[in-house]
Structure 1
Amino acid sequence: MSKPILYTCARSRGLRATWAAEEAGVDIDLRILPFPPRYLAPEYMAINPLGTVPMLVDGETQLTESCAIAQYLATRGGYTDLAIAPGERDYGEYCDFTYHADATITFPQTVYMRFCLFEKDKGLQEAGLAYAKWFHKRLIKVEQRLATRQYLCADRFTVADICVGYALILAQSVGLDDGVPESLKEYRARLIERPAYRRAYEREEAGRLALKA
């Protein structure tokens, strides 16, 4: 069986997928693209017409959603401890937090980044700051969930932690950390100490630096 190919940009939402692959022990062909790929790597549009990252190609299977890719890699060879199976305790919560990570938490971050970081000259910073407040308010669900536990579901580290954890990592890197509760900063600190996270981050950074060489 050939390796799954993961197209991504370093530090993007694709880090969820790279991280999941490292945690699950899935050997991927990691292909780091310049950002934004639709302009700086136009040949990528022939592979993914959306022009977005990440994208996983595994034989005939193609996925473009970071949380879905993380779940796929965690279960590609059957259920592992990284995923929670139907009938297992916290299965519903696992699904909920995995989807919550992108749809509710990362979404306002991306709007903030667009209006306050990437397109500051368009006069939409006020809207971007409103989405920053939205992001901070939406953290309450994660904060309350983690008030009595180390991980989100089933008393173990899962894909839900990868997906939510990435949003907290992104917050720190784009200037949104002031509104992140201290308890979630501590949670993030535990996550990024994981050896698999360090390997994923270092693999992506090596690819990013290679683009500049």
Structure 2
Amino acid sequence: MNEQKQQRQPAPHEKIAPGQFITFDGIDGAGKSTQIELLANALRQQGKTVHVTREPGGTVISEKIRELLLSTEQQMTTMTELLLMFAARAEHIQTVLKPKVAAGDWVICSRFTDATMAYQGYARGADLAVITQLAALVHDDFQPSLSFLLDLPAEAAAVRRQHRGEAIDRFEAEALSFMQRVRDGYLAIAHAHPERCVVVDATQSVEQMAAVISQAVSRL
């Protein structure tokens, strides 16, 4: 008599394999979207469940906040901008990032708190200690497993953005000196957190960058 095969259920003591949270940062034009897509496809080919998201954004509420932040139709104070960033992040973390990582998914996010440090802190002049306090309040010990900084000179990034021919948002409309401060901020963050930050030379070819990223991810 044929025995009906039963699907194996995890034993009570077994735990779901932990997921991973990977972030990509860098000034606009550095190639984040391309590298995120390449990494996500590679991980899926390995059988991983991968969720790709972005900040600000990733939820209905956070995407509405993103529209406000990127719109060129109005100005806002640095503190307003900073608090909106963390409001969007709080919703994103609690409803998407934490649950998916806890479920064992690999989550790849375009920008995270490093971006807030670089843009609102180093570039706009917001108090870095205040940003650190807000980060502790919003996500505490929930941190990326690995953070990639795609590093590109501000001048080169500006040329790439111009060639794309897309409508610019409120941040992309900033002066070159602003973008240089953002880049300097990112490099300072990477220097301060070498245990999770990997600086990738974004002047390399797409394939060369992907190889560096793949090698770093393989160590997780």
Alignment TM-score, normalising by the size of structure 1: 0.36
Structure with the bigger RCO (C-alpha within 8 Å, sep 6+) is: 2
Q: Greater Rg, structure 1 or structure 2?
A: 2
Higher share of residues assigned helix = 1
Alignment TM-score, normalising by the size of structure 2: 0.36
